[in-house]
Structure 1
């Protein structure tokens, strides 16, 4: 796995962790759902109450600040954060269509889009090869499960997933 793939993985982890940490710090303050509490035909939420502007903006800002510390541009960091959040929103949208509740566990669907989308879109900018693009989501899947358990045990997450 290339060093650029490791940096991307770290940025995706930062993007994924930021909304959880912001919820732990702020509770429901500054919490505005991305979907504005709108529902899709059939009455199900578009994304659900756990997908907030605070989380999306926070994740993008975090990656924008972290990327230069890792030797990459703030623009690349912002792109990685935005793409990770777009993948996460896609997962939530899909879960709502499947009738799963907000924050319900959906292994693979919860992790793969959030990591695969940035890896595919930023492949050229980061010089990633096919193995890197494959490994970023696989490692993110494993690490996200580990971090979720750690955050739960630290009282940062309400559920261990």
Structure 2
């Protein structure tokens, strides 16, 4: 196991997946343009839902790019982690809408695995992650997100606990 690459990966994943919550709390519904533009698919359900915004994706990319610089891995890696994490998050939301789940509802594993696994697979060579390291990071991310989510809910930063 590679301790520093695992640590850096957790930091970048946390920034990528956590930063969209901050502008939501700061601005409320202002500047919250839904990524899917409210488009409904053949099943009458939104593509992603109103909670997936351009504002959140931009926040994720900017914050994680800065995080990449601060930990010495460069803005390019930070931005790439954020972009692929957001793809994983959108993938999860797309599936949840098809399963008729409400936005922000919990789907254990589906909410955590794609947004951590996809970027780790896409970026594994730069921080030097093995496949065993990736497994450990995904597991740590899943457990950590569940724990942190409850704390953020208690602090009224998050609207719902997971």
**What range is the shorter-chain TM-score in?**
over 0.9
Partner of 1:103: 104
Distance 1:152 1:78 in 2: 27
Tell me, what secondary structure is at the counterpart of 1:125?
Answer: coil
Q: Which runs of 5+ in 2 are unaligned?
A: none
TM-score, scaled relative to structure 1 = 0.97
Distance 2:75 2:130 in 1: 22
Tell me, what secondary structure is at the counterpart of 1:50?
Answer: coil
- CA offset at residue 5 of structure 1? 2.2
Distance 1:77 1:158 in 2: 27
Partner of 2:137: 136
TM-score, scaled relative to structure 2 = 0.96
Distance 1:121 1:5 in 2: 15
Tell me, what secondary structure is at the counterpart of 2:146?
Answer: helix
State how many pairs are aligned: 161
Tell me, what secondary structure is at the counterpart of 1:120?
Answer: helix
Partner of 2:122: 121
Q: What whole-Å deviation, never above 9, does each CA across 1:110-149 have from its counterpart, x for those lacking one? A: 0000000011111122221111111111100011111111
Distance 2:101 2:139 in 1: 23
Matched ranges for 1:58-77 at <5 A: 58-77=59-78
User: Following superposition, which runs of at least 4 residues in structure 1 exceed 2 angstroms of deviation?
Assistant: none
